[in-house]
Amino acid sequence: MAQKRNRLKLVREVQSDDVYEYYPLGEYVVIAPGVCGGRPTFKGTRVEVEVILDWLRVGRTIDRILEGYPSLTHAAIEEAIALATRALIERYTRRAA
């Protein structure tokens, strides 16, 4: 039986008289049309999740990353790690099954 893909719903919020549209992947991680080529970013920023995961990969601590990206939070980075982990497991579990 084919699995149905979860469809993300577009959310619209007014921020400083501008409309911010995004597809939530979590509470903090989103895909915002027209922002960073549609790659996952942290909500309300142009900080790409991939950049932060790369910093972690090379050994930078979350606290050190937050010094350079004050718009982020510890919880946001932890969510990005969890989403990346889940995506990896889902992708490769399906292939191996």
pLDDT confidence tier of residue 91, bands split at 50, 70 and 90: confident
pTM above 0.75, yes or no: yes
Under CATH, what is the fold of the domain 11-96? Arc Repressor Mutant, subunit A (1.10.10)
pLDDT confidence tier of residue 7, bands split at 50, 70 and 90: confident
Listed by start position, the domains of the chain span: 11-96
Residue 2 reports pLDDT greater than 50: no
Cβ contacts of 8 within 8 Å, gap of 6 or more:
23, 24, 25, 31
> Which pLDDT score, from 0 to 100, does residue 94 have?
67
> Which pLDDT score, from 0 to 100, does residue 1 have?
36
Residue 12 reports pLDDT greater than 50: yes
